[in-house]
Amino acid sequence: MKKYFLYRCILIALLAGITSCTTPYNYTTNEFEEVIVIEATITNQLKKQEIKLSKTYKFEENGPVFETGAIITVSDGSGNIYGFDEVNKSYLSTTEFKALPGKTYQLHIKTKDGKSYSSSLEKLTTETNIEDVVPTVTTKDGVQGVEIRVKSFDPTSTSKYYRYEYDETYKVIAPKWVDQEAIAVQFKSPPSLVPGQITIQQRTTEARVCYGNKKSDNIIQTSTSNLSEDRVDFPIRFIASTDYVIANRYSMIVKQYIQNLAAYTFYQTLKDLSGDESLLSQNQPGFFSGNIKSDTDANEKVIGFFDVSAYSEKRIFFNFSDIFPTEHAPEYPYDCPTLTDANIKEYTHNYCFAPASNSTCRGVSLISSFISRSIVYYSGYTPSGVVPDDGSVSLQVYPIQCGDCTSFSSNIKPIFWID
């Protein structure tokens, strides 16, 4: 299931009562109560289901402490028991399974320190699929952009409560990419003043076209309980027309979870508590819990919810020109200006080595910067091979993000990607 960064922040803030998830404060925790956190959603997808266990942590600590060594099972009303294995700070079901309509499911957890927990009996919610995901040009708070809306309809009017996640992928094109690259090495025993060398060679890996990825990190819910029909037309994402994520080609997969009222209320409470006002107000809310309880200590606090949700998903693609046919594409997120007479000196460096009194030689800094991957070669020495270090060559370079997109995104084309 989705690992909410916001979810964890809110849970910790609820217990510590000292800060929010959006504003940094230099606080330390004077009073702290360790509480188990259980993230558990199983769906009607045939897959290895996932459950996360961790403990709340102090704000001055680096992050949650994952609960290792637990024994986790999910049982159903037919007597089937599904075990879970610990894999990379998570628990995955040993075999693939899916929640089926009409059956009850219950979560059971036993930790390595002998504590045990169980959920209430839960049933799969109504299986309702996403009908469509539609990008629409709109203006929000005076900003033009594209609003992505999800549409769904349940003619039986039994779905009512919806939670959404999304995963977006977008094409990145490095504007100052060239088909050659500079490889720098540093000599362990440099001869005279030469500490290393730079070689220009043809690129062997993709560095011009990459793919960025972002996942939703907040709680996105809607309800149709107050509507005349169980029909969803809900905005889940707004992207300004100046945002580079849509500059080229963009894709989003929307994930829909049909919830019951208890699950919806649990997540809605978390969302309501995520604002600065509620978390920092003098009227701090009391502890609230989900549908998971301790079997060994009735007074123990447990944070989490065992959710059995019907799931559906839908992916869309669009190009910037599809949405904004007359608009200029958003600018690249890094400063990569065209070389002109006015700025060329800023991006041009003499490749030579000389005493410190010679301020025009940049050999040492060039070697160091190529090795640390803070710059990328653009032009200045066309032939392949070792660059002469006698001052006869000046290299034009850019910040690495301008010419090598792998510095901040992936050059592996997603298997779902359609150009």
Has residue 33 been placed in a domain? no
Contact 350, 361 (CB under 8 A): yes
Phi–psi pair at 125, nearest 5 degrees: -75, 175
- Give me 402's structure tokens: 């301008």
The set of long-range contacts for 375-378, using a CB threshold of 8 Å and a minimum separation of 24, is: 375/399, 375/400, 376/176, 376/181, 376/182, 376/400, 376/402, 376/403, 376/404, 376/407, 377/178, 377/180, 377/181, 377/182, 377/200, 377/403, 378/176, 378/178, 378/347, 378/402, 378/403
Q: Check whether 64 has a pLDDT greater than 80.
A: no
Would you state the pLDDT for residue 59?
56
Q: Where is 265: in which H helix or E strand?
A: helix 261-272
Which residues, listed in sequence order, are joined to residue 397 by a DSSP beta bridge?
377
Residues 174 and 81: their CA atoms lie apart, in Å, by 51
267 or 12, which is more confident? 267
Span 221-237, mean pLDDT?
96
CB atoms within 10 A of CB 365: 12
Single-letter residue type at 341: D
Single-letter residue type at 29: T
Span 149-167, mean pLDDT?
97
Q: Check whether 403 has a pLDDT greater than 90.
A: yes
Give the confidence band of 391 by pLDDT, cuts at 50, 70, 90. confident
224 or 271, which is more confident? 224
Has residue 174 been placed in a domain? no
Q: Is 224 exposed, middle or buried (0-12, 13-18, 19+ CB in 10 A)?
A: buried
Has residue 384 been placed in a domain? yes
Q: Check whether 285 has a pLDDT greater than 90.
A: no
Q: Check whether 33 has a pLDDT greater than 90.
A: no
DSSP state of 339: P
Q: Check whether 306 has a pLDDT greater than 70.
A: yes
pTM of the model: 0.86
Would you state the pLDDT for residue 332?
97
Would you state the pLDDT for residue 357?
59
Order of strands, sheet of 231-240, starting from the edge strand that comes earlier in the sequence: 130-140, 143-153, 231-240
Q: How many CA within 13 A on the CB side of residue 379?
A: 5
Residues 122 and 179: their CA atoms lie apart, in Å, by 57
Contact 350, 381 (CB under 8 A): no
Q: Check whether 70 has a pLDDT greater than 50.
A: yes
Residues 133 and 167: their CA atoms lie apart, in Å, by 13
Gyration radius (Cα) of the chain, Å: 27
Residues 173 and 211: their CA atoms lie apart, in Å, by 9
Relative to beta strand 36-43, strand 302-319 is parallel
Has residue 201 been placed in a domain? yes
Of 183-187, 209-213, 252-256, the range with the lowest mean pLDDT is 183-187
**Across all residues in the chain, what is the average pLDDT?**
87
Would you state the pLDDT for residue 208?
98
Q: Check whether 5 has a pLDDT greater than 70.
A: no
Residue 350 lies in domain: 180-208+335-407
Q: Which residues contact 199 (CB under 8 A, 6 or more apart)?
A: 182, 183, 184, 185, 384, 385, 386, 387
Contact 243, 330 (CB under 8 A): yes
Q: Cite the DSSP H helix spans in 273-372.
A: 276-280, 320-323, 344-347, 363-371
Would you state the pLDDT for residue 193?
61
SS3 (DSSP) at 86: strand
Q: Where is 290: in which H helix or E strand?
A: none
Has residue 315 been placed in a domain? no
Per residue, the 3-state secondary structure of 139-206, as one string, reads EECCEEEEEEEEEEECCCCCCCEEEEEEEEEEEEECCCCCCEEEEEEECCCCCCCCCEEEEEEECCCC
Has residue 105 been placed in a domain? no
Contact 13, 25 (CB under 8 A): no
**What's the domain count of the chain?**
1
Give the confidence band of 390 by pLDDT, cuts at 50, 70, 90. confident
204 or 33, which is more confident? 204
Residues 77 and 99: their CA atoms lie apart, in Å, by 11
Has residue 270 been placed in a domain? no
Of 62-76, 248-262, 294-308, 372-386, the range with the lowest mean pLDDT is 62-76
Of 236-245, 309-318, 386-395, the range with the lowest mean pLDDT is 386-395
Would you state the pLDDT for residue 55?
84
Of 21-30, 225-234, 268-277, the range with the lowest mean pLDDT is 21-30
Q: Check whether 286 has a pLDDT greater than 70.
A: no
pLDDT digits (tens, 9 = 90+) for 112-129: 999 999 999 999 999 999
Has residue 214 been placed in a domain? no
pLDDT digits (tens, 9 = 90+) for 339-385: 998 999 999 999 998 766 567 889 989 999 999 999 999 999 888 89
Contact 274, 21 (CB under 8 A): yes
Residues 164 and 219: their CA atoms lie apart, in Å, by 8
Q: Check whether 282 has a pLDDT greater than 50.
A: no
Would you state the pLDDT for residue 190?
61
* For the chain, percent of residues with pLDDT exceeding 90: 73
Angstrom distances, CA of residue 354 to CA of 44, 52, 236, 360: 69, 58, 59, 9
Would you state the pLDDT for residue 289?
74
Span 88-95, mean pLDDT?
95
Span 38-48, mean pLDDT?
96
